[in-house]
Amino acid sequence: MKPARLFADYGMVFVLALLCALFSALTFSDQSPTGEAAATQVAKLLRQELSSPARVLIATRDQPDDVAYASALQRLLSGSGSGAQSVSVVRGEPKDAREALQQLAAKGERLDAIACTQATGAWLVFSNLQTDFPSLGGPRIVTPRSYRWPNFLKSENLLNITNQIAVIAIVAIGVSMVIITGGIDLSVGSLLALSSVLTARLIRDYAGGVSASPTAMILSSLAGIVLCGAIGAFSGVMITRFGIPPFIVTLAMMLVGSGLAYILAKGQSIYQIPESFVWLGRGADFLSIPNAVLLMAFLYGLAHLLMSRMKLGRHLYAVGGNSEAARLSGVPVRRVLLFAYVASASLAGLGGVIMASQLKSGSPTYGGMYELYVIAAVVVGGTSLAGGEGRMFGTLAGAFTIAVIQNGMNLTNVESYTQKVVLGLVILGAVLVDKTRTNR
Amino acid sequence: MIGAPPLLEMRGIVKSFPGVKALRGVDLALHAGEVLALLGENGAGKSTLMRILGGAQRADAGTLLIDGCETPFNTPQDSQAAGVAVIYQEFNLVPGLTAVENIFLGRETTRAGLIDKRSERERARKLFERLGADIDLDTPCRRLSTAQQQLVEIAKALAFDARILVMDEPSAALTAHEVGRLFEIIRDLRSQKISIIYISHRLDEVFEITDRVTVLRDGLNVGDRPTASITRAEMIQLMVGRKLTREFPQRTTIPGPTRLEVSGLRHGRAVCDVSFSVGRGEILALTGLVGAGRTETMRLLFGADPREAGEIRLDGRLLSIGSPSDAIAAGIGFLTEDRKTQGLVLAHSVLENFALPNLQRLSHQGFVRERSARDEFSRYVKQLQIAIPSEEQRAGNLSGGNQQKVVLAKWLARHCELLIFDEPTRGIDVGAKFEIYLLMNELVAAGKSIIMISSELPEVLGMADRILVMHEGRITGEIADPRSATQEQIMRLAIA
């Protein structure tokens, strides 16, 4: 493939990589290890630098990260072959540390090292040990070493991005199909809310609320998706049988869906849902990748296969490219269009279920403006609103581009109003680039 | 052939569109392994008949028989199943799909639910080999040349073993060399017992490639002869055939000195080096077949398309026309062929339509002077005898004749000296036509000049002071005295 063609097809991926590099450079900063990682590092240092057996005091604050650090370090040091003879732990404020040191001094014990975190290592109480507590024998202060690494590229942050974009990316699959046929779907945000509300309500009212069984939860979720699919089918029939423009039909369905969601939820959030319902949205069973992200990856694989290798996919492109030619070639144009709208609505329904799971509640306010973010993702991904062209992985790259820009701006402390301005301009820029490419 | 039923028989095909009876009971027969020429003037019903054969449109009445058996042709699928492939004039390829994807569109080969790309490519490669076509299988069709796209269409037909191939003006957009190649392919297909219906306006081609000729006129089959036993003149006579049925108003004025002079107008292949002039009080008719470049020439004159070369002079003064507003400022008005999409804002009132190009004059400090617009419009309503219940009437609800008059009023209010009428009476009933003709005569009597584009030969002969005939972007002839000219004469120049 020629470089120009390569850039044309995967230009968005290139831009995405560039954005990632930019935000990596901008968020390059000191990282101090915490918890387990810090404990492993300090244990290694202590073993290298001290003659065994050594006596060690671990001084930390009373915080979850510090507690994890202390207990891990204690375990590592007192394990067999570690060389440490006695290990004591003090947790809390500087005055707690002073008390502990005074007690040790009073008992006449000696101390070889004090293992600290970055924060406790700077406490004043440890700054003049030679003069304050001469009897301890001048213990060394050991802290975990800091290193430099971009905040953006930390694995938690990257997982955070994927988890945040999963819903939009999944909904964008269906909307891509619709846009490839030359149509548009504005109803997905409302359908997402409707699905979340119906699912939550079925669980609360008919499946036993917080004690609902997994089967009942699955059936409730399916009901949410099927309802959305049915609304999609209705839109599809309006468009194919009665020739009403997709913009109008789905605009109407956007209002209908949102209204139904408010009616079903009586205007409130529904949160009487079992704790286990969050499995889909927050769980991470495989390689600590969130389940929602795995589902997204699976759906994109499937959609790519459909669009590139299956009859239906080719027909979607053909209908969007020249619907009369498709009809004259024997393509069942109406059925193909119907499929696109049902798929789009059903995936919006699935998005609603995932969102309900992530937030452990259903609410009619979910998915506000999502239709626009989704369309932005599709368009940024290189799909033409005129129809007939576009790639699934382009849409995925588009969704990620939007997420990365938002995340990167959060990390670099750009406030949310400016974020909107930048995002708007980026969308425009992406389409402009695409336009100059197709005009060639 | 005698004894065996023809491969295809169309019997009594009728098709009406709102206001027009396109086909009035057409019979047509096609035998195995023959190339049939389907001839006729613009609007004779050839394309409609072929759309019915392709299943793109349903006939109102009539039957189609394949090998003597009645066969449904209600959908494109029916037509394909009967072994018919139609290559329409505007190609029906999906621009974003590749040649292979287009060839198998709607008939994809699948294996375990997935498209078997390898076998499709293999078959496409063999088809292209058989056609001697050198086409990259992976290039999107929008990047292929017209000739290549045509080959993809032919390959598409062969891919499902079509026995009948319809080609609607296949040579119109091809170079001479490409046409030669096309004929080789047609002969090759004929030797493989594939029957071909060939629609063309180029009689030379008809003599070269076809075995039999069927002529349509006004939605009827008016002649059916072996190509070998018909002359060129007979063909033209069959196509034109009808007698002058319409009357044209008498005109006594004589054209004055030259006002507009156009020389060396050029734009791509549509308009090649066109020069002409129009005199004061003259009606110049520009005729030829659809696609001959008549409208394109006028669009260049009007500044609607950029011209590559050419000079335009009005009253000896060189005009620099770069946009329609330049042309309008110079006093040129263009009454487009398609009033519905280019001439009028259908959803607006007739008054608003009238005021639109005249707003500059009719407004004061940014506000439209409603009163003077109304007054001025009512003058034209009277002068042109526009039949409207009120000035608030939506333009879309008017008859064709009245729409044409509103458009005319628009231009007259701009004090245009040269008016271009593109197919002025298309879609207008006979009575209203006469009124439009009268108006044109009044305009030239008042010293204005008119260029009239028309495909209706009686109209051209009856109205014009002088006739220019175009063919493939060039002026192929001038008839200085229309009163003594014949339709056959024009047709010969138009077919060239």
Measured distance between the N- and C-terminal CA atoms of chain B, rounded to whole angstroms: 34
| Residue B438 placed within a domain | yes
Give the pLDDT score at A440.
45
Question: Cβ of A388 and B96 within 8 Å?
Answer: yes
Question: Cβ of A388 and B114 within 8 Å?
Answer: no
| Residue B253 placed within a domain | no
Q: Are residues B201 and B300 in the same domain?
A: no
> A254 CA to chain B: closest CA distance, Å?
28
Give the model confidence (pLDDT) of A270-323 as tens digits.
Answer: 988 888 888 888 887 777 788 999 999 999 999 999 998 898 999 999 999 888
Please spell the DSSP secondary structure of B69-94, one letter per residue: EE---SSHHHHHHTTEEEE-SS----
| Residue B391 placed within a domain | yes
Of the residues B214, B240, B266, which one is the last residue of a structural domain?
Answer: B240
Q: Calculate mean pLDDT across residues B438-467.
A: 89
Give the pLDDT score at B19.
58
- Contact (CB, 8 A) for A309 and B114: yes
Contacts of A325 in chain B (CB under 8 A): 91-94, 105
ipTM of the shown complex: 0.72
Question: Cβ of B88 and A328 within 8 Å?
Answer: yes
> B25 CA to chain A: closest CA distance, Å?
24
Q: Are residues B183 and B317 in the same domain?
A: no
Nearest residue to B459 (alpha-carbon basis) of B283, B338, B335? B283
Give the pLDDT score at B244.
41
> B252 CA to chain A: closest CA distance, Å?
51
The verdict on B58 touching A (C-beta cutoff 8 Å) is no
Nearest residue to B418 (alpha-carbon basis) of B293, B479, B329, B317? B329
> A314 CA to chain B: closest CA distance, Å?
8
Q: Calculate mean pLDDT across residues B215-220.
A: 87
Q: Calculate mean pLDDT across residues A186-206.
A: 94
Q: Are residues B262 and B192 in the same domain?
A: no
Contacts of B91 in chain A (CB under 8 A): 325
Q: Which of B56, B97, B114 sits opposite A309 (nearest CB)?
A: B114
Greater model confidence, B85 or B456: B85
Tell how strand B84-87 and strand B164-168 pair up.
Answer: parallel
> Rounded to an integer, what distance in angstroms lies between the CA atom of residue B435 and that of residue B400?
12
Give the model confidence (pLDDT) of B349-363 as tens digits.
Answer: 888 888 887 777 777
| Residue B222 placed within a domain | yes
Give the model confidence (pLDDT) of B154-184 as tens digits.
Answer: 899 888 889 999 998 888 777 778 888 889 9
Contacts of A326 in chain B (CB under 8 A): 94, 105-106
Q: Give chain B's domain count.
A: 2
Interface of B with A in 115-134 (CB under 8 A): 115, 117
Question: Cβ of A328 and B115 within 8 Å?
Answer: no
Highest mean pLDDT among B91-100, B138-147, B272-281: B272-281
Query: Looking at residue B119, which CATH number applies to its domain?
Result: 3.40.50.300
Using only the alpha carbons of chain A, give its radius of gyration.
29
| Residue B2 placed within a domain | no
| Residue B304 banded pLDDT, cuts 50, 70, 90 | confident
Q: Are residues B221 and B262 in the same domain?
A: no
Judged against a pLDDT cut of 50, whether residue A403 lies above it is answered with yes
Q: Which of A320, A324, A330 sits opposite B80 (nearest CB)?
A: A330
Query: What domains appear along chain A, each with residue ranges and CATH number?
Result: 35-145 (3.40.50.2300), 155-439 (1.10.3470)
Contacts of A329 in chain B (CB under 8 A): 76, 92, 102, 105-107, 156
Highest mean pLDDT among A141-155, A213-227, B290-304, B352-366: A213-227
**For testing contact with chain B, the best of A311, A383, A385 (most B CBs within 10 A):** A311
Give the pLDDT score at B243.
47
A vs B, Cβ pairs < 8 A, gives 74
> Rounded to an integer, what distance in angstroms lies between the CA atom of residue B407 and that of residue B342?
10
Question: Cβ of A330 and B77 within 8 Å?
Answer: yes
Q: Calculate mean pLDDT across residues B5-10.
A: 90
Residues of A with CB under 8 A from a CB of B: 305, 309-311, 314-315, 317-318, 320-322, 324-331, 388-389
> A304 CA to chain B: closest CA distance, Å?
12
Give the pLDDT score at B433.
76
Range of the domain at B462: 258-495
Provide the mean pLDDT of chain A. 85
Q: Are residues B274 and B413 in the same domain?
A: yes
Q: Which residue of B has its CA nearest to A305?
A: B114
- Contact (CB, 8 A) for B213 and B206: yes
| Residue B251 placed within a domain | no
Q: Are residues B399 and B489 in the same domain?
A: yes
Question: Cβ of A328 and B110 within 8 Å?
Answer: no
Question: Cβ of A331 and B106 within 8 Å?
Answer: yes
Q: Tell me the residue type at B80.
A: Q
Tokens 């798929």 map to which residue? Answer: A343
> Rounded to an integer, what distance in angstroms lies between the CA atom of residue B488 and that of residue B286?
16
- Contact (CB, 8 A) for A39 and A409: no
Question: Cβ of A329 and B106 within 8 Å?
Answer: yes
Contacts of A330 in chain B (CB under 8 A): 75-77, 80, 105-107
Q: Which residue of B has its CA nearest to A321?
A: B94
> B186 CA to chain A: closest CA distance, Å?
22
Q: How far is CA B74 from CA A381, B88, B159, in A?
A: 40, 17, 22
Question: Cβ of B114 and A324 within 8 Å?
Answer: no
Contacts of A317 in chain B (CB under 8 A): 94, 96-97, 101
Q: Are residues B421 and B484 in the same domain?
A: yes
Q: A145-174: b or e for each residue (b if 16 or more CB lie within 10 Å)?
A: eeeeebbbeeeebeeebbbbbbbbbbbbbb
Q: Are residues B216 and B312 in the same domain?
A: no
The verdict on B78 touching A (C-beta cutoff 8 Å) is no
Q: Are residues B290 and B230 in the same domain?
A: no
Measured distance between the N- and C-terminal CA atoms of chain A, rounded to whole angstroms: 17
Q: Which residue of B has its CA nearest to A318?
A: B94
| Residue B9 banded pLDDT, cuts 50, 70, 90 | very high
Judged against a pLDDT cut of 50, whether residue B372 lies above it is answered with yes
Give the pLDDT score at A222.
95
- Of the ranges A123-137, A275-289, B91-105, which one carries the lowest mean pLDDT score? A123-137
Contacts of A385 in chain B (CB under 8 A): none
Q: Which of A310, A317, A327 sits opposite B97 (nearest CB)?
A: A317
Give the pLDDT score at A349.
96
> A182 CA to chain B: closest CA distance, Å?
13
Of the residues B240, B273, B293, which one is the last residue of a structural domain?
Answer: B240
**For testing contact with chain A, the best of B88, B97, B118 (most A CBs within 10 A):** B97
Q: Are residues B341 and B415 in the same domain?
A: yes
Give the pLDDT score at B405.
86
| Residue B443 placed within a domain | yes
Note the Cα B20 to chain centre separation in Å: 16
CB-side neighbour CA atoms (13 Å) of B473: 13
Packed helices A188-206 and A246-265: angle between N→C axes, nearest 10 degrees: 30
What percent of chain A has a predicted confidence (pLDDT) above 70?
93
Q: Are residues B227 and B88 in the same domain?
A: yes
Using only the alpha carbons of chain B, give its radius of gyration.
25
Q: Are residues B464 and B332 in the same domain?
A: yes
> B480 CA to chain A: closest CA distance, Å?
45
Provide the mean pLDDT of chain B. 86
Question: Cβ of B108 and A330 within 8 Å?
Answer: no
What contacts B488, CB < 8 A, 6 or more positions away?
Answer: B233, B236, B237, B240
Contacts of B92 in chain A (CB under 8 A): 322, 324-325, 328-329
Greater model confidence, B213 or A55: B213
- B171-179 long-range contacts (CB < 8 A, ≥24 apart) are B171/B200, B171/B202, B171/B205, B172/B89, B172/B200, B172/B291, B173/B146, B174/B146, B174/B147, B174/B150, B175/B147, B178/B147, B179/B205
Question: Cβ of B94 and A325 within 8 Å?
Answer: yes
Q: Which of A318, A321, A330 sits opposite B76 (nearest CB)?
A: A330
Q: What is the largest CA-CA distance in chain B?
A: 83
Nearest residue to A114 (alpha-carbon basis) of A34, A67, A35, A45? A45
Q: Token digits for B53?
A: 């054969």
Give the pLDDT score at A317.
93
> Rounded to an integer, what distance in angstroms lies between the CA atom of residue B373 and that of residue B367?
12
Question: Cβ of B97 and A318 within 8 Å?
Answer: yes
3-state helix, strand, coil in chain A (%, to 5): 70, 10, 25
| Residue B1 banded pLDDT, cuts 50, 70, 90 | very low
Question: Cβ of B94 and A311 within 8 Å?
Answer: no
Contacts of B101 in chain A (CB under 8 A): 314, 317-318
Q: Which residue of B has its CA nearest to A322?
A: B94
Of the residues B179, B205, B240, which one is the last residue of a structural domain?
Answer: B240
What contacts A417, CB < 8 A, 6 or more positions away?
Answer: none
Q: Token digits for A93?
A: 């404020």
> B57 CA to chain A: closest CA distance, Å?
10
Question: Cβ of B76 and A310 within 8 Å?
Answer: no
Question: Cβ of B156 and A329 within 8 Å?
Answer: yes
Judged against a pLDDT cut of 90, whether residue A250 lies above it is answered with yes
Judged against a pLDDT cut of 70, whether residue A377 lies above it is answered with yes
> Rounded to an integer, what distance in angstroms lies between the CA atom of residue A294 and that of residue B21?
61
| Residue B408 placed within a domain | yes
Phi, psi of B495 (to 5 degrees): -85, -25
The verdict on B95 touching A (C-beta cutoff 8 Å) is yes
Phi, psi of B413 (to 5 degrees): -65, -20
Give the model confidence (pLDDT) of B397-451 as tens digits.
Answer: 777 778 888 888 888 888 888 999 988 887 666 667 778 888 899 889 988 999 9
Give the pLDDT score at A287.
78
Q: Which of A310, A315, A328 sits opposite B113 (nearest CB)?
A: A310
